[in-house]
Each structure stands twice: as C-alpha cells, then as structure tokens.
Amino acid sequence: MASTITGASVGLGLSCSTTRKLSQTRNPSSSMLSFCSIKMTVSVEEEKKKRSFTLKKSEEAFSAAKEMMPGGVNSPVRAFKSVGGQPIVIDSVKGSHMRDIDGNEYIDYVGSWGPAIIGHADDEVLAALAETMKKGTSFGAPCLLENVLAEMVIKAVPSIEMVRFVNSGTEACMGVLRLARAYTGREKVIKFEGCYHGHADPFLVKAGSGVATLGLPDSPGVPKAATYETLTAPYNDIAAVENLFENNKGEICAIILEPVVGNAGFIPPKPEFINALRRITKENNALLIFDEVMTGFRLSYGGAQEYFGITPDLTTLGKIIGGGLPVGAYGGRREIMEMVAPAGPMYQAGTLSGNPLAMTAGIHTLKRLQEPGSYEYLDKVTSELVQGIIDAGKKTGHAICGGYIRGMFGFFFTEGPVYNFADAKKSDTAKFARFYQGMLEEGVYFAPSQFEAGFTSLAHTTEDIQKTIAAAEKVLRRI
C-alpha cells in the first residue's frame, strides 16, 4: 500500500543522512585541517555555482514566447504562475537530468509529467525510433506496431480485454465517458474534487492539475449543459458517493477517478475506499472507470488496479505507453469496447491514433519495465527521496507530510494527513514557492506547483537522491 509520512518517527524507518564521518586520525590538528579544507572547497564550489546560475536566455525566450502563445506556454502549469520567478526553457534531457538553454543542469523529478519512467532519451528507445522513422512517421492506416503494443497492454492491465489508442489523456477520457454513457444509456457521472481527467468540458468541474495550480474557477466557455450531468464528491469519502447514488437512482453511468490522485498533489486512497467504489457501482449497475493516465505502468506493471487488486470496468492510459511521444488509450471488457465504432455505434476517431512512432516508443519502454527488479528499484529510490525530504523538513522546523508508491510521490507543507483536495489546500503554498525557487537554484527540478505529484525513474541514481536531499535540507534551513 501507499507509504504516507507525516513525521520524523513515522513512515519507512529509513535513514537518509547525507553527512559523512571523517576517518579518525591520531593527529587531531591534521583532522581539523582536513575538515577545514573540505569545508573551504565546498564553500568555494557553492559560491561558484551560485554565481553561475542565470536564467537570462530563458527570460529572453519566454518574453518572446508570450508575444506568440497565450501566457508564453502550451500548457498552463509550465508558466510558473503559482511559484513565481522565471520559467526555465529546456534545451535537452538525458537519463534523470535536464539542461536549460542557459546551461544550467537539473535533477528532474517531473519526467515530462510522467512518461519518462525509464529515463529521458533512452538509447534503446531512440535507436528503435530511428529505425521506425525510416519507414515513415505516420500512415493514417493500420500498422503492425499497433497490434504489438495492444497485445502488451491487454496482457498487462487486468481490466483491459480490448483497447483503442488515441493521442492524449484528455482524448482517452473524452472517449471513455462517451462509451460509458453509450453502454449504460445513462448520462450522469461522478468525479472527485481535485481529480483531473483532461480539459474536456464535462470534467472541468472542481478539477485538479493546472486548474488547481492557477486557482481558477470552473472554466469560462464551458456551457452549463456540458457539466449539468457531472456530480462531484470529496476523494476518499464513501458516504458522499452513496448519497449521490441515493439521490440520482438509475441515472449514474459511472464513477471515474484517479485511483491515486496525482493532479492535486500525491493523495493515495484509504484502504477501504476503492473497494467500496467497486461494491457501490456493482450494486447500482454503474461502471467503475480508473483514469490511469498517470498511474498506469507506474505503480506496477499492471497499474494501480494490479497494485490494489481491484479491477474496474474501463481504464484510461497515456504517458508511459507512448514512451515520451503523444499517446492515450482507453480499454476494458470486450462487451463494452465492442460498442466503439466501427465494431459498434459509439463514434470516435483520430488522424494520428496508433501512429508508428508512439507505438514504437511505447513498446520499448514497456519491454524495459518488464525486466526483473524494475519496480523494486523505483520503490527504493523513491522511498529514500521522500523520507529524506520529510526528515529534512522536520529537522529544520517545518510542517510537512508526504508519501509515495513505487515511482510516484508527493509532499505538502502541512502537518497532514492529506486525504482529499480540501486537505491539500491547507498547504502553505507560499512556502512551497520559496522552496521551489531555492531547489531550482540548487539544480533540482520539481513540478512548479504544490498540487502536482512527482516522478522518479529507473535512471535516477543514489547520488541523485542524496544530492536532492542535501539540497532540500539546505533550502529548508534558509526559508
């Protein structure tokens, strides 16, 4: 189950100290001299690093971007609105690191918002893509690679017997909601406050991700009719869900949720919560939909549903199954999926769906994840990271809590525990902004929002983790 850490004496029982004892020596003065030399070297290196950190080129590029693109970005959270300061413009990525156009290097815990689970720009994936590109980048017709990835997804994910590939998580959630309505003949759907299922009109009600980050109300431009059938409940609140079914008998087609919330920060389910949702949906002839765009192939090879042992009726995927290229998918029981055109009457289509590049990157990413020890390694590095940051926060006098599952994690500047979006909003977001800017200067890149989960990868090393913890303690002392 999820590991939640709320205090120095609670959690994983790991020691993540970043200090080292100097070797004992018979000559005390020699020992002192060695210590002073080390301290002086570190101080010089820190001063040199501080002087060299600049975002001048990023600032120039971003100023130009704002004249051409709304807010200077193509996805809102990238604009650093909630943390302030200058957004960084990236030049290149490799493994667990990224470099901006000013030459600053960062240990990356965003991972392109989840896809980079085996590390950025993996050599095997790049080589496979190069070979595929020789044959073409898009066919607009069936290709054998679609079969290969579809078979891998069906074998891995317990709920999926048939799958439809699309081009984004938003598109996958749009399709799965239309399918749930078509299959059940009902229109109302339950979502949870703070959960984000893309920017389609029916889902922009008490949404997470960029909507939460920017503190926006339900989006202008969404007709009331589009959200009239969307019902909301607090995450982890079984009674609220039961009340919605009681007050809307025979009208609810499905419950859709992030089985582990990542778009309001990292919020795991209470042990009984998902089991209760499975029971309630079956009792009311409604469908249970897991939005695993973020958790799919990250919490385990079979996703959150394999990790928790709960099989939904339908599932959405994205991110990891495209290996860093645009992709999405939805799938589920055969009898439901056969409603999708051309097998059935529910229409959905896409020009670039199943394109050979995304399929190739996805295939080779999943092959890597099949290697023994992959998820154990993710669990190890993530536990060390989270425990280290929480310990550093407590040691320096901050209210902080957090948790992780395998390669997904988060922490909040509040005592916690955090069970839902209302709890998450108690966090000290001003403190997070100061922490964020400090960590950026120390060469660590977290998501620029208190309300986004973080991600580790197979490329993160023990050295990466220890450097991050040391930087966190330094910044936490300063703020």
Which residues have a catalytic role annotated? 196, 291, 319
Q: Helices 374-395 and 462-478 meet at what angle, rounded to 10?
A: 20
Count of alpha carbons within 13 Å of 172, Cβ hemisphere only?
31
CA distance 125 to 140: 22
Find out whether 165 and 315 touch, Cβ atoms under 8 Å.
Answer: no
Q: Compute CA 102 distance to the chain's CA centroid, rounded to the nearest angstrom.
A: 26
3-state helix, strand, coil in the chain (%, to 5): 45, 15, 40
- Concatenated DSSP letters for 106-147? EEESSGGGTT-TT-BT-HHHHHHHHHHHTT-S--SS--HHHH
CA distance 194 to 234: 8
The Cβ of residue 21 has, within 10 Å, a number of other Cβ atoms equal to 5
Find out whether 161 and 333 touch, Cβ atoms under 8 Å.
Answer: yes
What is the β-pairing status of strands 105-108 and 162-166?
unpaired
Give the sign of the dihedral formed by CA 419, CA 421, CA 422, CA 426. Answer: positive
Q: Which two tokens stand for residue 22?
A: 């100097």
Give the sign of the dihedral formed by CA 150, CA 366, CA 409, CA 372. Answer: positive
Q: CA end-to-end span of the chain, whole Å?
A: 33
Residues in the chain: 479
Find out whether 193 and 422 touch, Cβ atoms under 8 Å.
Answer: yes
Q: Which two tokens stand for residue 442?
A: 């120390």
